[in-house]
Structure 1
């Protein structure tokens, strides 16, 4: 098996676009993160892009969009040792790896480094949307809301993934809104109380997340309501697969998503290297 390190996104796209698009559920992270870079290159660090070839055929890939972890969803277990070897040479500063548990854990173990589990999640796919009946109204966020969205994104990451690398949250939210992603807000008496994001469809797939409700507004059903709004927005954009990830340590969110129509698919995990 051979590995090819791609120095341009165009080269990587030529080798992998059809492969990734053929399984948009498994490759959700790569499809959305690479689309963001493709449409807003000036705001992003250059990605790390590796493909794996067996007798001339592409059999897998590994993606990292700094400062985040490697995405191992398209990494075959047979290529793990080679992937670790190449990644160590070209990208020693990578903080970790994320993907379906079997692949991400195999990658983490193969590094020989000390690591810790950061986030264990369950991937869900929408069946039939069943919006809840909750007090309040909804609206889609605009650029006037980016300061609020930035603060909420930072709060979400601090709570859910405290190990996440520091990143300018407000800048990221302004870019996301300008790119046309759906930022839904649930509003009570004119005040936003919950937020959910839906990515623009890629190969028919949209992913919901983050979903965030500030602590003072929790336990009223606002998270479920705003998730349903973001989901409907995605369907209106033509999505045929709507996905989300829920923290396995939070049984409340897992039950909420199932009540509005999401069905469990697979377990994912993220591992960070210990320093």
Structure 2
């Protein structure tokens, strides 16, 4: 396999025409690529930063076998690769002189690409985060259900959403892909956040959902303020938003969790989510200990 079996482009329309069918063939493993490219298509190529995104695909025997994208200054996101494919991609990107501050991929792919990037670019990879992708099996509402009710957030909730999103990003140790207000506006535009609120209307927890793309929706972020945790609000709002997604006709309901958070992993399994694959985020640093590329990069999966 040769590095020039890959191609790179900044033309999103052309990339989707070429690789869109491949991405839709596994909407679970390709969920981030599907949702991010849809955001770029609908909201513009500068949705995640001032620099133009880069896309690419591997084509062999007339078929797309893998794809990647990067929305600077964030990490490279890659679909599952064999070790040979990972090596050829690293060689391809290094030959182009592309900055790669890190990679997010299924565990085996991330490990293989990290090793390949060190060979081709001299950058050492260190693990930032380990996540697990879950897919809904049979929905089970956790009992007992706490007092309160679910409500879709609207324009009057913008300040609350902005504040909670900022708290969530800080708690997760991420750098937001968009400002908190822009994130809130985007989610409000399609009813993308649901609150669990008390009987007097006070928000207690929230759960977001991505827009439906290729028959899949990804739940997240799920957030309960620290003083309100341990009371079942997060489970209640996650179950509620999952039920709403199913009622809309979507059958592929997904979510990511931090593998270090035993509480959330246990909760989602009780609700009915089942593990699909583990994902790893690597940061890359050169031999001088500095990270290549421009500005601070986040290992966060773009929302």
Aligned residue among 153, 172, 176 for 2:183: 172
Quick check: 1:141–1:184 contact (8 Å CA) kept in 2? yes
Q: Distance in 2 between matches of 1:23 and 1:166?
A: 25
Confirm whether residue 185 of structure 1 aligns to residue 195 of structure 2: yes
Q: Distance in 2 between matches of 1:88 and 1:177?
A: 40
Q: Distance in 2 between matches of 1:245 and 1:105?
A: 19
Aligned equivalent of 1:53? 59
Instruction: Note the aligned Cα RMSD (angstroms).
Output: 1.9
Q: Distance in 2 between matches of 1:157 and 1:116?
A: 21
Aligned equivalent of 1:6? 9
Q: Distance in 2 between matches of 1:116 and 1:165?
A: 21
Which deviates more, 197-206 or 146-155? Answer: 146-155
Aligned equivalent of 2:298? none
Q: CA deviation at 1:166?
A: 6.4
* Unpaired stretches in structure 2, ≥5 consecutive residues: 291-303
Q: CA deviation at 1:43?
A: 4.9
Instruction: After TM superposition, list the pairs within 5 Å mapping 1:233-272 onto structure 2.
Output: 233-272=244-283
Instruction: After TM superposition, list the pairs within 5 Å mapping 1:120-139 onto structure 2.
Output: 120-132=130-142, 133-139=145-151
Q: CA deviation at 1:93?
A: 3.9
Quick check: 1:199–1:234 contact (8 Å CA) kept in 2? no
Q: Distance in 1 between matches of 2:117 and 2:68?
A: 15
Aligned equivalent of 1:116? 126
Counterpart secondary structure, 2:72: coil
Q: Distance in 1 between matches of 2:67 and 2:27?
A: 14
Aligned equivalent of 1:34? 37
Aligned residue among 194, 215, 238 for 2:205: 194
Quick check: 1:77–1:103 contact (8 Å CA) kept in 2? yes
Quick check: 2:55–2:70 contact (8 Å CA) kept in 1? yes
Instruction: After TM superposition, list the pairs within 5 Å mapping 1:227-238 onto structure 2.
Output: 227-238=238-249
* Unpaired stretches in structure 1, ≥5 consecutive residues: none
Q: Under a length normalisation based on structure 2, what TM-score does the superposition of the two structures give?
A: 0.84
Aligned equivalent of 2:301? none
Off by >6 Å, runs of 4+ in structure 1: none
Q: Distance in 2 between matches of 1:242 and 1:121?
A: 17
Aligned equivalent of 2:223? 212
Which deviates more, 21-30 or 117-126? Answer: 117-126
Confirm whether residue 18 of structure 1 aligns to residue 29 of structure 2: no
Aligned residues: 273
Deviations 1:41-94 (A, max 9, x none): 165243210111224432111112233211112444332122223334557444
